[in-house]
Homo-oligomer: A and B are copies of this chain.
Amino acid sequence: MFELELSNARYWRDCVSSIVSLVDEGIFNISKEGIGLKAMDPSSISMVSFFIPNKAFTKFKIDKDANIGLNLENLSKILSRARDNESLVMKDSGNKVVFEFISQNGSRRYVMQMVEARKGAEKEPSIEFDANIEIGGDALREIIKDASLISSYISLRASKDHFGISARGDSGELEEQHQADGAVTKKVSATKNADSVFNLEFLENMVKSCPAGVPINISLKTNEPLKVSYPIGDAQITYFLAPYIEE
């Protein structure tokens, strides 16, 4: 039995958006500490790891740990119906989950069936990254659009004090170089140069839920998975993306 309440229903919509951009179903692990979700995307080249602590909730009542599998696409649609100034109560009822939107104007109750979601790799890859970059979310989204014109892949590279990207396609080439502490790249720290190629569509899905004004953290190591993470209020979302290695 659990009953959780958030004062702002749209905040939960934003949290779920960050997950559904990569996976269409998943298992929420509800424990005393908060709610976590870890899942691989269906093609297994990326992973999402989400956690929101209990302090983000105005009510957080559980009697024992619970694993709640849900169709995230349906959940995301339901949450898109959240209106201004609505709070959200989530609770279980048998093998269903009730989502109740509450405002002064009355309440709406959506009920969703739990599903047996596939389990994925539950552990985050442990990589000793060589470089860390802090970059504005909007700036990174623009860079991704720049590269999408040219290719489906983007090369990211970091050196001691530079962050660079490039893309290469039939219609042309793109080269961008950003200095650390510049307007785009807030910080770059690299113990070694790092350079890898990634799928642009996945990267785009990973950065699109980053709230305005929030910087994104990127960790790189040559030919190792990329780590992308940022906070959404009290919650933290982390993604991993396998590099594209030409054979």
Please give the residue numbers on chain A whose beta carbons come within 8 Å of chain B beta carbons, in ascending order.
Answer: 71, 74, 77-78, 81, 83, 104-113, 139, 142, 145-146, 149-150, 171-179, 182-184
Query: What are the residues of chain B within 8 A of A74 when measuring CB–CB?
Result: 171-172
Cβ of A149 and Cβ of B77 under 8 Å apart? yes
In the assembled complex, the Cα of A127 lies from the Cα of B146 at a distance in Å of 44
In the assembled complex, the Cα of A219 lies from the Cα of B81 at a distance in Å of 26
**Residue from A142, A145, A149 with most neighbouring chain B CB atoms (10 Å):** A149
User: Nearest B residue to A83 by beta-carbon distance?
Assistant: B142
Cβ of A109 and Cβ of B149 under 8 Å apart? no
Cβ of A177 and Cβ of B78 under 8 Å apart? no
A119 → chain B, closest Cβ, in Å?
22
Known pairs A106-B183, A107-B176, A111-B172. 18 more at Cβ < 8 A?
A: A74-B172, A77-B149, A78-B149, A81-B145, A81-B146, A105-B139, A105-B182, A106-B177, A106-B182, A106-B184, A108-B146, A108-B174, A109-B176, A110-B173, A110-B174, A111-B174, A111-B175, A113-B172
Query: What are the residues of chain B within 8 A of A149 when measuring CB–CB?
Result: 77-78, 81
A118 → chain B, closest Cβ, in Å?
18
Number of copies: 3
- Listed from nearest, the 3 A-B pairs whose CB atoms lie closest are A105-B183, A74-B171, A112-B172
> Contacts A145-B81, A149-B77 given: A104-B183 contact, CB under 8 Å?
yes
Query: What are the residues of chain B within 8 A of A173 when measuring CB–CB?
Result: 110-111
A73 → chain B, closest Cβ, in Å?
9
> Contacts A104-B183, A145-B81 given: A175-B109 contact, CB under 8 Å?
yes
Can you identify 13 A-B contacts, CB atoms within 8 angstroms?
A: A77-B149, A78-B172, A81-B145, A105-B139, A105-B184, A108-B174, A109-B174, A109-B175, A110-B173, A111-B172, A111-B175, A112-B171, A113-B172
